[in-house]
Structure 1
């Protein structure tokens, strides 16, 4: 009993913090999603907020944009990170450290600083991207990357990719250090090619890391907010609006807290279902 009490005493600060700032807000968010909760009103309305949400064309558009971002970014992040890690792992320490630093730098750099740089790159008049494309005769006139609804979402996805690959690359390089290289050497002696070695030996060892990267990248992509808030504010005409940004707009600009919490509940359930599906698909072959 004494050891148990001591253990809970050490856990108490974290449990209290988690309860006050995570668990209680989650419960309140779920409960208030059934209320017309604004600055001036707090009335129980049942499932009206959920009905309104699925009939809201802006929400549907934000949902589609969010799904496109996740579907486009997660596979590219995983494949690109795995490629870079596999190409740099066998290099010398200096080269490997250089590449890890280059790709991880956007992760530790403040989102505001990253946004300022990309805003200059995408500038329709003096941006370096338009300059390079025009110099290479790939475009005839400047493109408003963030102001054109045909390009804005793609431009946001490019930024998201550059800020998302740093951690997966580090994790993959670390995971490759745990591969039993005696098995690789034995397979090479038996005449296995690089593809066969990767598929039969390296990939099973990398699968737990891949599962973690897929789930974390999916969650982060669903929750993208800062880039959109700082660059486009959901525009043009909600072409870059996501569920997180639309939720923010309803809660903090229009004070429709109940409706915003409804979208938060929907997003949490959606992330939970997709993460569970990913875990079941990829986790069956993971050894614990």
Structure 2
């Protein structure tokens, strides 16, 4: 009897899984189609100057992303195979990385376009432009930090201003989504749902964490010896993550006042992003259920 029940359970699970896989495939196909349409609309909507500006920002940003991912793969991914296999694996990683970033950011662009369309009052209409600007700034600074790290030493003031602007624009977008989760959907016919809100939230939170990492890196450049253990860029990224998640192992510690201020900013941002926002997402799911 137990064997029969077990077999039936396995069969039901497999059938359910296949059905879920089919639905997921259709969902992703539709999502990719909508994202591609959104990218295309950057070149077709608005007047000539707007189209050129939007399209140019996306092209430059995609190039910057490619350079950043390429440099990271060459610097940090070490495989002990033949030269040919090594090149093939790294090429695959680079291509996959570029595609993932392209569609994740396209997803946020699609959602911000929908927010821009549905929210027709006041400053909310700028939300699509805000995302394009912060995406461009963040990608540019990450590329400079990774590919041309010495350039940030020459333009620290511009770097600080750009990171602050990008940070506040990302927080603004996060708050818009928090207040209007019902608009997180592919189009007016889409009912939306927890999964779409969650992916949007995590994508924007990731961009905010990158902003914080850039701030920490600039702090280390401006104020020599701001952190203990003489950290490199990867160490500073690790420090940003563990501080943001409130773990804080203590192996890298802020020493200067500027570094301590950045630690406070990271902690406050963590509370806003992880506690308030993710809490509102799960409450949305409970209300739907």
TM-score of the alignment, normalized to the shorter chain, above 0.5:
no
Q: TM-score, normalised by structure 2?
A: 0.28
User: Max radius of gyration: which structure?
Assistant: 1
Q: TM-score, normalised by structure 1?
A: 0.28
